A and B are shown apart, each in its own frame.
Chain A
Amino acid sequence: MVNCLSDLFQAEVEETLKRIQSHKGVIGTMVVNAEGIPIRTTLDNSMTVQYAGLLHQLTMKARSTVRDIDPQNDLTFLRIRSKKHEIMVAPDKEYLLIVIQNPCE
């Protein structure tokens, strides 16, 4: 029973990530846990480790910035736009979803 359930969840997770990855312009998708360790990724090892570590720290900093200004407020979404692409981070208590998109100019 437990096996069946976990397979179901696994299928759902893979399905969702595939849907996000197939959006227009998406270069990579990854899920990072609360310690900054990547659990799911579509990029190669070295890039994943870099993105996970750096973005985890940045998200924590962004969240503390928002809450320092107004303790009733909290971070819901983080977007970083660079010359080459846009990085989007959806934070949560336990996980971070990071999506890298190359928007059309």
Chain B
Amino acid sequence: MVTRARPSLLCLAGSAGAETLATGGATGVEGPERPGPLQDETLGVASVPSQWRGVQGIRGETKSCQTASIATAEASAQTRKCADAEVQTEAPEPVGVPSVPWNDGARLAAFLRRVEVMVTQELNKNWQSHAFDGFEVNWAEQQQTVTCLHTLGYPPAQGQGLHVTSVSWNSTGSVVACAYGRLDDGDWSTLKSFVCAWNLDRRGLNPQQPSAVVEVPSAVMCLAFHPTQPSHVAGGLYSGEVLVWDISRPEDPLLWRTGLTDDTHTDPVYQVVWLPEPRHSHRFQVLSVATDGKVLLWQGAGAGRLQLSAGFALAVQQLPRNTKLKKPPRGETEVGATAVAFSSFDPSLFVLGTEGGYSLKCSLAAEEAALARTPSSVPLRAPARFTFSPHGGPVYSVSCSPFHRNLFLSAGTDGHVHLYSMLQAQPLTSLQLSHKYLFAVRWSPVRPLVFAAASGEGDVQLFDLQKSSQKPTVSIKQTQDESPVYCLEFNRQQTKLLAAGDAKGTVKVWQLSTEFTEQGPRETEDLDQLAAEVAA
């Protein structure tokens, strides 16, 4: 209890209190030498008031704040000038291989040394192996037969007795459009005809009600959808005009027209094709082929007009004389063209089918001027380079193989399909498919050895050259009363579908069995072999 140092102020009370506690305790307890009887003792309550903490009452002060008033003002703005601008993405540039500097030759050489023996062994083993003979994997569900998915028709057109003259699939493969007209005699000049389109992927598809209908003042002979724009379609009329419609605009679908000028065809346009423009490969122009002997290239100019950008004219005197042709009657120099097909390997090479029954190999790059009787704004050139030996009647359809650069098919009114190679005038093979006319022939876009033909007896014949080169693998009856099937087109995106249009005004969409849509292991080689051995 002896505090030596002077206690600080803060603990003064504490020590004083402690003294009382200590002394209080000391009086109560007996000295440590003689323990007395334990008895209860109550000690006083010791309280230690705090000195340094006073009562802290709650102090409050009133303060207030107010934001300054917000200044508002009214003003109006109006653009005085406005401009239209269009944005178009360019097609992506192909990725180039980045060049790697040559600085690690030694390591690369060492790697190849290590690896070469093993790779060579595997290559040799593979070449001789029979392990996979006859082994085929089925990834998709197999379908054994050809079925009719949709039967589409437009009752007003069918009521007028119009035929389906042409069908076309659009760039996405979901819309099929057909053109109505008449391919035999009829009252052309006052006949209103239609272009109808059905969207097959839409729910609630009504086969009798097209999703888009365009009324056209004259019969439409041919139709072609734009390769990249899903709603633009070009059509050629009986009057010689070429029109381009946008079927996504119901009120005013007509986009461009050639009009009836000196440049337009004077005869029915039998086929239209979209071609990429030479310098801007994402823009397209329309090529039209008609029986007046002219092949014209149209480009969209302002105000909805199609302007002639290049043209070709066929004249008998200018045809290459490598094949003996019948002497034409005096005075007639035009060669009517009825079909055109472009090669998928060489974009400037095309084949024309003519009324005279012979096919012509032509080039867009031909320079020779044509003998044309009618003047035109753009000088016409003679495109023919080679003449193939003729059919027994006019050629209504030609198709170039998408898998072989030299093969093409032509179908004529003699009921025969000729398989030609670009290199020789005589056909490689000639197949008689029908006793009546053949109106259309198309190569399959997925199987190199398959093609389809539309006959005047009302059936669509599918040929598989791998199975049989004499008779069709499948013959699909489209019409019940043998009225002709005039046109057919494969769907490039949904490769199981084939659309065919007939004289009753109906378009049937057929779903092909798997054997027609899946490529076998060596088909391209078989096609090459076929081309080579038959030519020999």
Instruction: Enumerate chain B residues within 8 angstroms of A70, measured Cβ to Cβ.
Output: none
Given A97-B119, A99-B119; A9-B108 close (CB under 8 Å): yes
Q: What is the CB-to-nearest-CB distance from A82 to chain B, in angstroms, rounded to a whole number? A: 9
A:72-105 near B, CB below 8 Å: 76-77, 79, 81, 83-84, 86, 88, 90, 92, 94-95, 97, 99, 101, 103-105
Contact A92 B115 (CB under 8 A): yes
Report which of B94, B97, B119, B127 forms a contact with A103, defined as CB distance below 8 A: B127
Report which of A39, A76, A81 forms a contact with B100, defined as CB distance below 8 A: A39
Contact B96 A101 (CB under 8 A): no
Question: Does residue B78 face the partner (Cβ distance < 8 Å to A)?
Answer: no
Contact A49 B97 (CB under 8 A): yes
Question: Does residue B112 face the partner (Cβ distance < 8 Å to A)?
Answer: yes
Q: What is the CB-to-nearest-CB distance from B105 to chain A, in angstroms, rounded to a whole number? A: 4
Contact count band on B: 20 to 34
Question: Does residue A59 face the partner (Cβ distance < 8 Å to B)?
Answer: no
Q: What is the CB-to-nearest-CB distance from B92 to chain A, in angstroms, rounded to a whole number? A: 11
Question: Does residue B126 face the partner (Cβ distance < 8 Å to A)?
Answer: yes
Given A13-B109, A13-B112; A33-B118 close (CB under 8 Å): no
Contact A24 B133 (CB under 8 A): no
* Residue of B whose beta carbon sits closest to that of A40: B108
Which applies to chain B's interface (DSSP): helix, strand, loop or mixed? helix
Q: How many chain A residues touch B (Cβ–Cβ < 8 Å)?
A: 43
Q: Once bound together, how far apart are the Cα atoms of A5 and B110, in whole Å?
A: 13
Q: Once bound together, how far apart are the Cα atoms of A41 and B97, in whole Å?
A: 10
Task: Fill in one digit per residue for B61-98: 1 if any A CB lies within 8 Å of its CB, else 0.
Answer: 00000000000000000000000000000000011111
Contact A6 B102 (CB under 8 A): yes
Contact A83 B521 (CB under 8 A): yes
Contact B521 A16 (CB under 8 A): no
Contact A26 B112 (CB under 8 A): no
Task: Fill in one digit per residue for B111-135: 1 if any A CB lies within 8 Å of its CB, else 0.
Answer: 1111110111011101101001100
Question: Does residue A37 face the partner (Cβ distance < 8 Å to B)?
Answer: yes
Instruction: Enumerate chain B residues within 8 angstroms of A13, measured Cβ to Cβ.
Output: 105, 108-109, 112
Instruction: Enumerate chain A residues within 8 angstroms of B112, measured Cβ to Cβ.
Output: 12-13, 16-17, 31, 97
Report which of A19, A39, A83 forms a contact with B116, defined as CB distance below 8 A: A19
* Residue of B whose beta carbon sits closest to that of A9: B105
Contact A90 B123 (CB under 8 A): no
* Residue of A whose beta carbon sits closest to that of B111: A95
Question: Does residue B143 face the partner (Cβ distance < 8 Å to A)?
Answer: no
Instruction: Enumerate chain B residues within 8 angstroms of A105, measured Cβ to Cβ.
Output: 132-133, 521-522
A:9-63 near B, CB below 8 Å: 9-10, 12-13, 16-17, 19-20, 23-26, 31, 33, 37-41, 45-46, 48-49
Instruction: Enumerate chain A residues within 8 angstroms of B124, measured Cβ to Cβ.
Output: 23
Given A6-B102, A39-B100; A20-B111 close (CB under 8 Å): no
Q: A31-B108, A31-B112 known; 19 other A-B pairs, CB under 8 Å?
A: A5-B106, A6-B102, A9-B108, A10-B102, A10-B105, A12-B109, A16-B113, A20-B123, A31-B111, A37-B98, A84-B521, A88-B126, A92-B111, A94-B107, A94-B111, A95-B107, A101-B123, A103-B129, A103-B132
